[in-house]
Amino acid sequence: MSKYPEYSHVKSHEWFDRARAVIPAGVYGHLGPSEGLFLPLNKWPLIASKAKGTYFWDMDGNRYLDLMCAYGPNVLGYCDPDVDKAAIEQLSIANCTTAPSYKMVECAEKLVDTVAMADWAFFMKNGTDATTFSVMLSRAHTGKRKIFFLRNYYHGNDPWAMRADYPGILPEDVAHNVVLPWFDMEAMEKAYDACNGDVAALIAQPYDHGNFFDNRVASKEYWQGVREFCDKHHMLLIIDDVRAGFRLDLAGSDHYYGFKADLICFCKALANGYNMSAVCGREEFKATAASLSFTGSYWMSAEPFAACIACLDKMKRLDTPALFRRLGTKLTDGFKEAAKAHGFDLVVSGEPALFYLRIANDDSLMLHQEWVAECVSRGLFLASHHNHFINAALTDEDIALAVDIADDAFGVVEKRHPELKG
């Protein structure tokens, strides 16, 4: 018998029904049930009421130990007092004004001081803005058209970053996208020759951490080879650090892997949930960045800048990359031990700060999805398709609770599938 009674989600699902009446699919993006990520749907809360630290609560009052961290932005913990204080203080002075706030300048200075490769910073509101700006800059600077992507890429939701079979995407939107396998320098050289040198940039995450498959960590040797390749062919090297940024190294994930990007895109962990993103770049691309027509409403809002400064300062004080490695390793080691005790082969991949889980007993991933659903319905929020995140509010006591819930869920699934013992 399970030691953790299953949650009910009556009020949360009532709210979701209200959402579906006025919002397409009820909710957009990763959380859309139409994407088939939440099976069975009745195990999931869908709508939140409040959050604090490493927990959030649904509309029924159920509490969840959250290892998704709002899909990454919650790097310090929900409602972090230092970040929220800085934001509130700024709101009491001014937020969105005709002339940009001095906080924008301070924030840029902070990023240049923090990110190893950065000579300048340019701000926007989300990760797609950051990657789009970087691609535009690379084309403007080189006069070339094609962009190299690495397989299973995700760089946002503008048409250029999509795939030809996505709804609403025209062939010409992705005509200049060249998709290559990870870690294959020979394929990269062949693709460059096939393009007759018309390649502006390569854009990539710091390691292979897409959805629905085991993550693959890159080596410093690989990235050094890519850096040399881009230099040889006068291409820009763009690192999409929207997901991994500041979790591996406060100086940037390129610094962590021992190379220097030309442009690096930040978003999720930048301001602990306040909406902003940034592109940092090298001096030789500053004039081109200044020449681009790129703007938007609320991009000069001072509140996120204040939050970003406080967030970066606190991550430095806590040395969050080292903290995340310790906590992530302890957590995933506990998960693996719990899985083994019930006869499951739980594969952990990626970096400890943002790890991916997969039950390898079943190639269809349905067994894995079943286990994840049982965890969620007992108060441990995981995803079945995405890498997970550590935040600084997570304690050793939280880890013990997470492992215990995971163990309980493994037990439930084990009893449901006696055939696995045969």
Q: What is the pLDDT along the chain (422 residues), one digit of tens a residue?
A: 689 999 999 999 899 999 989 998 887 766 665 555 677 888 989 899 999 999 999 999 999 999 999 999 999 999 999 999 999 999 999 999 999 999 999 999 999 999 999 999 999 999 999 999 999 999 999 999 999 999 999 999 999 999 888 889 999 999 999 999 999 999 999 999 999 999 999 999 999 998 888 999 999 999 999 999 999 999 999 999 999 999 999 999 999 999 999 999 999 999 999 999 999 999 999 999 999 999 888 888 999 999 999 999 999 999 999 999 999 999 999 999 999 999 999 999 999 999 999 999 988 889 999 999 999 999 999 998 899 999 999 999 999 999 999 999 999 999 999 888 76
Distance CA 345, CA 361 (A): 6
At 316, list the tokens. 């430095």
CATH entry, 81-317, from 3.30.365.10, 1.10.540.10, 3.40.640.10, 3.40.50.300: 3.40.640.10
Query: Are residues 191 and 178 in contact, defined by beta-carbon separation less than 8 angstroms?
Result: yes
Confidence (pLDDT) at 31: 64
- CATH number of the 10-78+320-421 domain: 3.90.1150.10
The C-alpha angle with vertex 211 and arms to 205 and 165, in degrees rounded to 5, equals 95
Q: Looking at the whole model, is its pTM more than 0.75?
A: yes
Residue partners of 219: CB distance under 8 A and separation at least 6: 257
Question: Among residues 42, 422, 52, 76, which one has the least CA distance to residue 250?
Answer: 76
Where in the chain do CATH 3.90.1150.10 domains reside? 10-78+320-421
Kindly tell me the sign of the dihedral angle through the C-alpha atoms of 267, 284, 114, 387: positive
Where in the chain do CATH 3.40.640.10 domains reside? 81-317
Query: Are residues 109 and 254 in contact, defined by beta-carbon separation less than 8 angstroms?
Result: no
Kindly tell me the sign of the dihedral angle through the C-alpha atoms of 389, 390, 394, 398: positive
Confidence (pLDDT) at 34: 52
Query: Are residues 252 and 261 in contact, defined by beta-carbon separation less than 8 angstroms?
Result: yes
